[in-house]
Structure 1
């Protein structure tokens, strides 16, 4: 009986976690859509009732948010859109408090998602949390400014994710000589971390009870 229960759990758990993550993402998107609708209702009360009915349409928030992202990307891809984006950035960077948050988030997002950036494009082995204990981390760049000047040899910035939730973790600056590069892809390394080492980087695990 125990064998069959565990086997059934291993079959259904990936699907259950996948559905849970998708519902979580959908909830965030619906929250964004609801905030946009609420702002529109506040600005134009005449549209309050029609917009209220839109909130009851299932999946509409996802369609609207994805469509808005696509249209924004198409708009910014041309010269006029790039000019408008620069003006928008200039406006936000002159608003007290807002400029600090906006500038920091924009710099991080540009670094992570830029096709020319090196963040999260290299998986490495590092000794953490103490010597002789190894874990997988991701190179996010190199220290700069005053921090780089205070370090003696070449250092790299490392993000060490936690498991099974890789969205939280630790930021380390380590000597390049103490970092061991890995040939595995970032996707394979993330799977290895999320599975707590159950899924090997070179193939699927054989974890069904025999």
Structure 2
């Protein structure tokens, strides 16, 4: 029974990222295919298969062009300010945006290194991500040089806790941030070389 449960969990962890990606792509495809396909059928009385897929790709490219352009980026920020004024939408949109920004490695990398820290007690280690040196009031009130280490939860690394660790107690690992994330998401099943 234990082996069956182990096999099931491994299969679930392997399929989850694929299923999530396919679901999001299918959602965009179905939304655009129903809207544009229906519009084309009514206006031109022709059925065009694949309209959803082509329009999804074009929508993503158009959005990318828009947000990388100076004027488009300003327009996008203005739209985000408008979204901030809508209570429920604000929480959903900006919550998901923070998660994506934290774990997408575009532009600047939020996590600089992967590290081991002894937590919650001596002799027990957790994998965490170094986010930088501690500054401000917290550092001023302690005698040790502290390092900010984000310790994510398994298998959902979007939640976790910040641990302030004396620099001498941080054990830096050679693995990349991506390999560290794989280790955490897989609950230790996928371990880097």
TM-score, normalised by the number of residues in structure 2: 0.63
1:131 corresponds to 2:127? no
| Structure 2 residue aligned with 1:28 | 24
Matches of 1:122 and 1:167, distance apart in 2: 15
SS in structure 2 at match of 1:47: helix
Matches of 1:168 and 1:85, distance apart in 2: 25
Unaligned runs of 5+ in 1: 1-8, 203-210
Matches of 1:24 and 1:98, distance apart in 2: 22
Matches of 2:30 and 2:73, distance apart in 1: 28
Q: CA deviation at 1:189?
A: 2.5
| Aligned partner (choices 156, 166, 170) of residue 179 of structure 1 | 170
Matches of 1:90 and 1:118, distance apart in 2: 25
Matches of 1:63 and 1:18, distance apart in 2: 28
Q: CA deviation at 1:196?
A: 4.9
Task: Label 1:120 to 1:143 Cα distance change in 2 as closer, same or farther (>3 A).
Answer: same
Check the 8 A contact 2:32/2:52 in 1, yes or no: no
SS in structure 2 at match of 1:175: strand
Matches of 2:23 and 2:133, distance apart in 1: 36
| Structure 1 residue aligned with 2:4 | none
| Aligned partner (choices 145, 150, 157) of residue 158 of structure 1 | 150
- For residues 57-100 of structure 1, what are the alpha-carbon distances to aligned partners after superposition, in whole Å with 9 as ceiling and x for unaligned? 68x65654443222211122122212211221222223344345
| Structure 2 residue aligned with 1:79 | 70
Unaligned runs of 5+ in 2: 1-6
1:190 corresponds to 2:178? no
Q: CA RMSD in A?
A: 4.0
TM-score, normalised by the number of residues in structure 1: 0.59
> Relative to structure 2, which stretch is displaced further, 115-124 or 100-109?
100-109
Task: Label 1:48 to 1:119 Cα distance change in 2 as closer, same or farther (>3 A).
Answer: same
